[in-house]
Structure 1
Amino acid sequence: MRALPILLLLALLTACGQPSVTAQESPTATPSEPSSTSTSGEEGGPGGIEPPPPFRVWHDGRELVLHPHTYCYGGGCVDGVNLDPPDVGSPEEIQVHVPVQEFALSVYAQELTREPRPDDPSFNATCGGRSFEVPVEDLGDGWYALRPAGPTALYDIQLFAQGGGDMIASLHWRTPFDGPAPEPSARLALIAEHDGEPDSYGLELAIDDLAQTPERVTAEITVTAGNGRSMTFAAEQTRDPCRSAGDLYFSRPDEPAKAAAALGDFPFTTTVTLTLDGRIHEATAVYPDDEIEGNEPSVALEFTPQLPGL
């Protein structure tokens, strides 16, 4: 998952129109009285754009007032990045208050594989680390609880609140123990529908959250149209040294994808044979029956045997 941290969140910023949102009053009941309070981020918005109220982050009896670096609020939008997020240490639980009534919280973690260097914006501390969505518990009154997820590590945590607008802030958290890990997942974008006819925008095969990145990988795709005509071709992996650990991505070749769409009419049955370090996994999906809502034209893939997870 996604990918999530800064890069994943850029794909999620779809609410930046002219939002109509209401600042939520601070609840009368808070998790506990803080022993200390600190503030991170800029309080005012650039160019006279009104920022939303800040997140309130509680951990270890302390409160952090965390101003968003990216937001759409009050009729304006600001895109930014915090190169030096505050570090909350290693609490077993973090509680976050979202100050806008219409916003709901999602949280994404990106493993920091090296110590950050805020003095060097080109330095990528997340290169090759795991990324995934962190489960949150809704406590009511705008409060949410976060607990460790995935392997114990130092993570860049992105707080993403949205609903008629959005606000994003970040912090660093070194989780004190392993938490639940996301299950491996896979999707394939190959066949699409355009004006009622089969089409293709190219190949995109994504495998996420494997236990580890395999050393040897092959993927073969067989496509069968509704008239029974079929073809088979090999997908080519797109290699990126900074891709999240446990994630695989195939985006070539496009020509067979176009040829597959010309085989006939719907439905199209696709079978993916994935070989990871010599072990074969196979999944079959039907387009458009298995199309993923919100991620069209991708179809979900369920492999047998199951993909290896953490």
Structure 2
Amino acid sequence: MPRGFSLIDPSTLATATPTLTTSRSTEASREASTEATPAQRTPSATPRAALASSTGQAFAQVMAEVSGASTSLAVRQRQTPAVAEPAGRALAEPARSTLPEPATPVAARLIDLGMPRALANQVTGTDIFGEMLAALRSMPPPPRPPQGAGDVLVIAGEVAYALPIARTVAQSLHLDPGRILLAAPSTAGTGLHASRRISGPAEAERRGRQMHRAEVPHVVVVDAPVTAGDDGWVRSITEALGATAIWAAVDATRKLADTARHLETMGRVDALAVYAASVCSDPAGVLALDVPVALLDGRPATPAAWAALLTERLHTLPAHA
């Protein structure tokens, strides 16, 4: 038999078994003695006797209370006004461009008269007229009326003001003012013969062909009241005439926004003939319309004419504090 191993005598197994049983009983008794008594144990769940029966009076009372609470909650929810969610934040207004301060008190007064800030800041005050003249010469020269054979100049605006401008231009071109044509509902009160009236686009086209074959230029006034809407009247007449140039008669005392809107209704505008500038609080404001000024109160709108007008107005304008 190999060393280290020994056989168990089968006769000893019978006596060994009771001993094993006895030891197991002893361990069980020891474990039982260490367990807590039922009174000391913490219940793991609510006893069945504590649960309300679904058929008992207590259950009915509880359900009535729950139902009443739910109803009152629903009523409160209906009565409580809904709180609107805050609306999205309004877009911030765009920041206004920061304009440079007037360079001198004289420049500030010129800006009040409508002179563009960039030009006004060139006037320091040592030689007001000379500096103003030099600044205004940086602008494009005023357009001249077309004077070639067969040219057609249209002056559009309110007849009461456009017609005197047309007469001034006709005289400068050595033309007979009585030969001016008028596209308007009537020639009454204008001093023009009824035969000088253009009734509409069809007649404007016929007359235009004749004028373009003439040896002299022609001047045509087109009635364009400020109060009229954009009905296409001015556009249709000027296109039918084949106008060489289109000038708009502009009131310097009118708001620039209204004047700009009126110019939009005319369509193509090559230059402005400004009137009432001498009585306007800011006569140079029309320079902001971005359309060349041809005439200033009946005179060519040269830098000298602008400088003379603004210098005269400086003496009547209160000085800045």
| Band of TM-score, shorter chain | under 0.3
State the structure with more CA Rg. 2
Q: TM-score under structure 1 normalisation?
A: 0.22
The TM-score normalised by the length of structure 2 is 0.22
- Give the number of the structure with larger relative contact order, counting CA–CA contacts within 8 Å between residues 6 or more apart: 2
Flag the structure with higher helix content. Answer: 2
More strand by share: 1
